[in-house]
């Protein structure tokens, strides 16, 4: 009998005390953290989308936490406590079969891209292994007024009819669009860097890959970097072949702006984005996002030069100073 009390009572006591220490204490500490600046609760539609996200297991393949590590920089700034204030249950996730989505609303703001990708990821990322979620769409004879159909490329579109997103898909994409990291204050950013310095050991920090903000090679265009930057920022829409997706994203192959020796417009589009314009005689329903906020002048020049010298294009190369000048004009 006494032994039973020892085992049952003792082990439960140990459990309770330690759980207190490991969960309740940090919990108290964490619950004092206010929402970060700019962190908003979700709207009704967005939280519905979050439920769709949970129900369909997106979080088994996608994390929503950016670690203060070099290799995570592509996904955004390191996550802070205040980012998560309105989230129950948490979706930090445990595995990255696909990329982190903390900042996907910023990285891929085009809902047209999101719809195509959700319908069949291979339509925009040919190597993707992400499952297709095409049952979240309806195939109907003709899109009703006010609803735009998803401009699927040939080979992915159904043989007859047009594809429109269901309410479920619309809520999900609204949720994805809400996933944007608000910038942190200067002080917090500094402490984030400090945390990074603390966490990454000196050896790995110095051996970490040359990141994009290292000094550029002088005197022109770094082809490898241009290609890598194009892959990371542009090929999701314009595709690695530069040919885009008919009806959704324009081809840059043989494109007038890309081949024009006066690069002003080209630079302007990459910095500021483009919408409702006519490209090659077509008006695209989707928009081109601006990159002024995420790419440096040197990076923009590298990408532009890559576009101007690839896929048979022969536009005159640009230099970073031209980008700087164009950026200055916007102000």
Partner 1 sequence: MSTVATTVFDDGRASPTSATAAGGLFDRDLILKFMAAGAFWLVFAPTVGAIVAIKFNYYDFLGHVSWLSWGRLRPVHVMGVVFGGFSTTVIGLTYFIVPRLCGVPMYKPQWGYSIFWGWNIALVAGFVSLMLGYNSGIEAGEFPLWVSIPVEIVLCMVAIQVLVTIKRRTEPRLYVSLWYMAAAYIWTALNYAFGHFILPYSMPGVNNAAMHGLYIHYVVGLWITPIGLAVAYYFLPLAAKRPLYSHKLSLVGFWALAFFYPFVGTHHYIYSPIPYWTQTIAIVASMMLIIPVWTVVQNFYGTFVGGWKNFQESYAAKFIVIGALYYLLGCFQGSTEALREMQRLTHFTDFVIGHSHLTVFGTFVIWATAGMYWVTPRLARRELYSKGLAQWHYWLTVAGFSVMAGDLTLQGMMQGTMLQAGTDFVESMVAMKPYWIIRSLAGIVMDVGAALGFWNLYMTIRHGKLIEMPAAVPVDYLPEPKWS
Q: Under rule CB under 6 A, which residues in 276-315 are in contact with ligand HEC? A: 276-277, 279, 284, 286-289, 291, 303, 307
Q: For residues 75 and 66, is the Cβ–Cβ distance under 8 A? A: yes
Categorise residue 99: left if φ over 0, alpha if ψ from -120 to 50, beta otherwise. Answer: beta
Q: For residues 249 and 285, is the Cβ–Cβ distance under 8 A? A: no
Closest CA to 323 of 290, 292, 289, 280: 292
Give 193's contacts (C-beta < 8 A, 6+ positions apart).
Answer: none
Q: How far is the CB of 87 from ligand HEC (least distance, A)?
A: 16
String of b and e for 219-246 (b: at least 16 CB within 10 Å)? eebbeebbbbbbeebbbbbbbbebebbe
Closest CA to 235 of 311, 150, 314: 311
Site string for partner 1, 203-222 (x = CB under 8 A): -x---xxxx-----------
Q: Pick the binder of ligand HEC from 76, 105, 121, 165 (CB under 6 A).
A: 121
Residue with tokens 């929402």: 35
Q: Pick the binder of partner 1 from 42, 45, 47, 85 (CB under 8 A).
A: 85
Q: For residues 225 and 302, is the Cβ–Cβ distance under 8 A? A: yes
Q: Is 284 exposed, middle or buried (0-12, 13-18, 19+ CB in 10 A)?
A: buried
| Residue 298 CB neighbours (<10 A) | 21
Residue 194 in the binding site for partner 1 (CB under 8 A): no
Stretch that binds partner 1, among 5-13, 157-165, 182-190, 309-317 (CB under 8 A): 5-13
Q: State phi, psi for 210 to the nearest 5 degrees.
A: -60, 120
- List the interface residues with ligand HEC, window 207-266 (CB under 6 A): 233-234, 236-238, 249-250, 252, 255-258, 266
**d(C-alpha 323, C-alpha 75), whole Å:** 25
Closest CA to 47 of 86, 100, 6: 86
Site string for ligand HEC, 164-193 (x = CB under 6 A): --------x---x-----------------
Q: Pick the binder of partner 1 from 140, 190, 199, 325 (CB under 8 A).
A: 199
Which one of partner 1, ligand HEC, none is in contact with 189 (Cβ closer than 5 to 8 A by kind)?
A: none
Q: How far is the CB of 26 from partner 1 (least distance, A)?
A: 5
Residue 56 in the binding site for ligand HEC (CB under 6 A): yes
Site string for partner 1, 94-133 (x = CB under 8 A): xxxxxx----------------------x--x-xxxxxxx
Q: How far is the CB of 291 from partner 1 (least distance, A)?
A: 17
Which one of partner 1, ligand HEC, none is in contact with 223 (Cβ closer than 5 to 8 A by kind)?
A: none
Residue 315 in the binding site for partner 1 (CB under 8 A): no
Residue 113 in the binding site for ligand HEC (CB under 6 A): yes
Closest CA to 108 of 177, 182, 190, 201: 177
Residue 98 in the binding site for ligand HEC (CB under 6 A): yes
Chain residues binding ligand HEC by CB under 6 A are 53, 56-58, 60-62, 97-99, 101, 104, 107-108, 110, 113, 121, 125, 128-131, 133, 172, 176, 233-234, 236-238, 249-250, 252, 255-258, 266, 269-270, 274-277, 279, 284, 286-289, 291, 303, 307
């Amino acid at each position: 009998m006494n032994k039973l009390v020892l085992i049952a009572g003792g082990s439960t006591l140990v459990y309770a005390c330690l759980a207190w220490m490991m969960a309740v204490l940090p919990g108290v500490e964490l619950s004092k953290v206010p929402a970060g600046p700019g962190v908003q609760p979700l709207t009704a539609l967005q939280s519905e989308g979050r439920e769709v996200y949970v129900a369909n297991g997106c979080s088994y393949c996608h994390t929503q936490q950016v670690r203060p590590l070099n290799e995570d920089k592509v996904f955004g700034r390191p996550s802070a406590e205040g980012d998560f204030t309105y989230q129950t249950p948490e979706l930090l996730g445990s595995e990255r079969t696909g990329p982190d989505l903390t900042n996907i609303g910023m990285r891929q703001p085009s809902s047209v891209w999101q719809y195509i990708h959700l319908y069949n990821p291979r339509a925009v990322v040919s190597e993707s292994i992400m499952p297709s979620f095409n049952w979240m769409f309806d195939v109907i004879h003709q899109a009703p007024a006010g609803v735009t159909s998803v401009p699927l490329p040939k080979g992915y579109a159904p043989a007859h009819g047009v594809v429109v997103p269901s309410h479920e898909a619309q809520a999900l994409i609204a949720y994805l669009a809400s996933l944007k990291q608000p910038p942190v204050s200067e002080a917090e950013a500094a402490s984030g860097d400090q945390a990074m310095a603390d966490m990454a050991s000196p050896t790995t920090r110095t051996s970490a890959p040359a990141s994009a903000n290292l000094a550029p090679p002088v005197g022109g265009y770094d082809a490898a970097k241009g290609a890598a930057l194009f892959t990371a920022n542009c090929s999701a829409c314009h595709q690695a072949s530069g040919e885009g997706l008919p009806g959704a994203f324009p081809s840059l192959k043989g494109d007038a702006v890309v081949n024009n020796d006066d690069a002003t417009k080209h630079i302007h589009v990459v910095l500021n984005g483009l919408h409702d314009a006519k490209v090659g005689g077509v008006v695209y329903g989707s928009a081109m996002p601006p990159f002024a906020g995420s790419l440096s002048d040197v990076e923009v020049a590298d990408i532009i030069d890559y576009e101007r010298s690839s896929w048979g294009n022969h536009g005159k190369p640009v230099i970073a100073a031209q980008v700087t000048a164009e950026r200055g004009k916007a102000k």
